[in-house]
């Protein structure tokens, strides 16, 4: 090029890479970071959604297990097989039972106790107490521990339980043969004293008469386990009345379970050989 000649203008490349504005290395890192960050955010959202779904499924299964246990009063071997629409199951002996009545202990309980009317103040008090201890647990747990419960609570004789001192109850917190829950242990004595107070009012002929006064006019007729209620308007009303009278651990689910176990309602499934046992 000769001196004084005009310098030719640099040619503009058609390449997009050549014409792209120069970026600071940190800007490039930021762009890449945003790209990878967006991917991580999306992946994180997917993982969280999956975790929420899994947690929801687990909660639902827990609700089903608790509901079936509360309805059926136990977690015998057959409960694991309970699915939507489960009706009576025929055992090896050829007898149709509610689906929870499997295994020697639960079969015996199902066939000889559950749904049979109770008689006597102490029998009603025992059932009320054990239903309270069962809250959050399986009935099989309570059934296995029932002999020891009867020992430490003086056969659930109301006046003897009401007379237990604080030291007596404190000792029970160290007894592995029962459910060592302080609130439930204290509630047992509280409820015994509430039964005594009920006597003094003369309004009912004992605890059993009060509980029986809330029996519904008609009993459920469930065909499958999923149709068995866990509460009822009557159990809600009974719970409120018991609480008003100073009883503890007597929520609507507990009072409904009490009504089932004592024959105030009959929730043996249609087709179960024990259906109608309360009227026999």
Whichever domain contains 256, its CATH number is 1.10.340.30
Q: Answer whether residue 137 is part of any domain.
A: yes
> Residue 197 has what pLDDT?
97
pLDDT digits (tens, 9 = 90+) for 78-106: 333 344 468 999 999 999 999 999 899 99
Among 64-78, 103-117, 127-141, the least confident range: 64-78
Is 109 one of the catalytic residues?
yes
Average pLDDT for residues 37-66, to the nearest whole number?
Answer: 49
Torsion of CA 188, 278, 213, 211, to 10 degrees: 0
pLDDT digits (tens, 9 = 90+) for 7-31: 554 444 444 333 433 333 334 334 4
Q: Answer whether residue 71 is part of any domain.
A: no
Q: Answer whether residue 14 is part of any domain.
A: no
Q: Answer whether residue 115 is part of any domain.
A: yes
> Residue 139 has what pLDDT?
94
Residue 119, annotated ligand binder? no
Given 109, 114, 214, 256, which residue is catalytic?
109
Given 100, 114, 121, 131, which residue is catalytic?
131
Average pLDDT for residues 182-198, to the nearest whole number?
Answer: 98
Q: Where residue 210 falls among pLDDT bands split at 50, 70, 90?
A: very high
Q: Where residue 48 falls among pLDDT bands split at 50, 70, 90?
A: low
Given 139, 214, 234, 260, which residue is catalytic?
139
Whether the per-residue pLDDT at 254 is higher than 80: the answer is yes
Among 59-68, 147-156, 223-232, 247-256, the least confident range: 59-68
As a whole number of angstroms, the distance between CA 59 and CA 65 comes to 10
Q: Answer whether residue 139 is part of any domain.
A: yes
* Coil, helix or strand at residue 161: helix
Backbone angles phi, psi at 49, to 5 degrees: -65, -40
Is 39 one of the catalytic residues?
no
Exposed / middle / buried, residue 88 (Cβ in 10 Å: 0-12, 13-18, 19+): buried
Q: Where residue 230 falls among pLDDT bands split at 50, 70, 90?
A: very high
- Domain, as residue range, for 121: 95-279
Residue 154, annotated ligand binder? no
Whether the per-residue pLDDT at 75 is higher than 50: the answer is no
**What's the total number of domains in the chain?**
1
Is 204 one of the catalytic residues?
no
Whether the per-residue pLDDT at 140 is higher than 50: the answer is yes
**All residues at 6 or more sequence positions from 252 whose CB lies less than 8 Å from its CB, including other chains:** 231, 232, 235, 236, 238, 239
Whether the per-residue pLDDT at 77 is higher than 90: the answer is no
Average pLDDT for residues 238-265, to the nearest whole number?
Answer: 97
> Residue 280 has what pLDDT?
81
Q: Answer whether residue 201 is part of any domain.
A: yes
**pLDDT above 90 coverage of the chain, percent:** 68
Residue 268, annotated ligand binder? yes
Q: Measured in Å, how far apart are the chain's first and last C-alpha atoms?
A: 122
Average pLDDT for residues 52-59, to the nearest whole number?
Answer: 49
Q: Answer whether residue 9 is part of any domain.
A: no
Q: Answer whether residue 220 is part of any domain.
A: yes
Residue 110, annotated ligand binder? yes
């Amino acid at each position: 090029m000769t001196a004084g000649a005009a310098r030719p203008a640099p040619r503009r490349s058609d390449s997009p890479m050549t014409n792209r504005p120069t970026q600071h290395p940190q800007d490039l890192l930021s762009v890449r970071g945003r790209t990878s960050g967006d991917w991580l955010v999306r992946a994180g959202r997917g993982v969280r959604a999956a975790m929420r779904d899994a947690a929801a499924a687990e909660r639902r299964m827990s609700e089903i297990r608790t509901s079936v246990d509360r309805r059926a009063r136990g977690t015998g071997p057959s409960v694991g097989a309970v699915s939507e629409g489960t009706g009576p199951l025929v055992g090896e002996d050829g007898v149709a039972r509610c689906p929870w009545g499997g295994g020697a202990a639960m079969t015996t309980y199902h066939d000889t106790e559950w749904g049979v009317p109770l008689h006597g103040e102490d029998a009603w008090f025992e059932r009320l107490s054990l239903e309270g201890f069962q809250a959050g647990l399986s009935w099989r747990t309570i059934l296995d521990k029932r002999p020891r419960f009867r020992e430490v609570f003086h056969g659930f004789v109301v006046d003897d339980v009401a007379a237990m001192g604080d030291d007596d109850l404190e000792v029970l917190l160290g007894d592995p043969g029962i459910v060592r829950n302080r609130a439930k242990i204290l509630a047992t004595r509280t409820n015994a004293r509430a039964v005594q107070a009920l006597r003094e009012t003369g309004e009912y002929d004992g605890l059993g008469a009060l509980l029986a006064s809330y029996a519904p006019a008609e009993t459920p007729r469930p065909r499958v386990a999923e149709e068995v209620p866990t509460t009822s308007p009557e159990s809600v009303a009974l719970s409120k009345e018991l609480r008003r009278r100073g009883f503890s651990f007597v929520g609507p689910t507990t009072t409904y379970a009490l009504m089932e176990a004592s024959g105030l309602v009959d929730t043996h499934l249609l087709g179960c050989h024990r259906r109608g046992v309360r009227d026999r």
